[in-house]
Amino acid sequence: MTPEELARRCDWIAARASRRLREANDLRAEFYFGKGAALYRLCTPFVDVALNHGDRKEILFALTRCLVETRGYDCFIMATDSWSFEGNERYLALTNKERAALVDRGFKRLMALGYGKRTEAISVSGQTPDFYHLAVVRYERDPPRIASTESTAVDAIKGRSTMWGDWDHPRMRETYEAVKASPITIPGTEAMPMVNIETEDP
């Protein structure tokens, strides 16, 4: 898979999430798994519940990584409701290192220092063993309205949701090993529907 192909998938999923928000105010998380030209979608309450609890989130991503490894998927994309930071000109003038040093949970420090505002957003993060992409759809909830959409290649996706390489998270290795040795699986992964972004509208 090329970076351009990963970007197309992320943009299609972001467009689908935008439509679901506008038409039904539906913000359920969706996971996508790719193998070659095939792309499969997982949308289950289990994922939504787990994403809202720290310990369960670790278990969810450990289970997801086990699934990716076991089935040989070469692409993982997730669309989730999240907070996003919209920086102003002062923020854009900072170096990447300076920005990273200011990031905390909920972007509270950046807002306190006057670097921009926090907005609700749908984050679509895509990864393969070699490439990473991020699409962000900022929105207003009541009434549902899309404010802006950004899509860009990124250097890496780190933390609990990493499917290839090191997690860069203190407990993920331990959680992963425990989950791998257990019979637990993610409900709904037995028969995931296939998605064709070439023929289907988002």
pLDDT at position 37 over 80: yes
| Structure confidence at residue 71 as a pLDDT band (50, 70, 90) | very high
pLDDT at position 106 over 80: no
Is 51 part of any domain? yes
Is 54 part of any domain? yes
Is 178 part of any domain? yes
Q: Which pLDDT belongs to residue 135? A: 94
Q: Which of 45, 37, 36, 61 is nearest to 188 (CA)?
A: 45
Number of domain units in the chain: 1
Burial of 191 (0-12, 13-18, 19+ CB in 10 A): exposed
Q: Which pLDDT belongs to residue 85? A: 85
Q: In whole angstroms, give the CA distance from residue 166 to residue 66.
A: 14
Is 134 part of any domain? yes
Q: Which pLDDT belongs to residue 66? A: 96
134-180 pLDDT, tens per residue? 999 998 877 778 888 889 998 888 889 999 998 888 889 999 999 99
| Structure confidence at residue 25 as a pLDDT band (50, 70, 90) | confident
Look-up of token digits 């278990």: 59
Helix (H, G, I), strand (E, B) or coil at 196: coil
111-135 pLDDT, tens per residue? 999 999 888 899 999 999 999 999 9
For 71, other C-beta atoms within 10 Å of its C-beta total 11
Mean pLDDT rounded to a whole number for the chain: 91
Task: Express as a percent the part of the chain with pLDDT over 70.
Answer: 100
**Residue 42 in contact with residue 30, Cβ under 8 Å?**
yes
Q: Which pLDDT belongs to residue 199? A: 92
Provide the domain limits for residue 73. 3-195
Is 200 part of any domain? no
Q: Which pLDDT belongs to residue 168? A: 82
Angle of CA points 141, 111, 109, to nearest 5°: 125
**Residue 123 in contact with residue 82, Cβ under 8 Å?**
yes
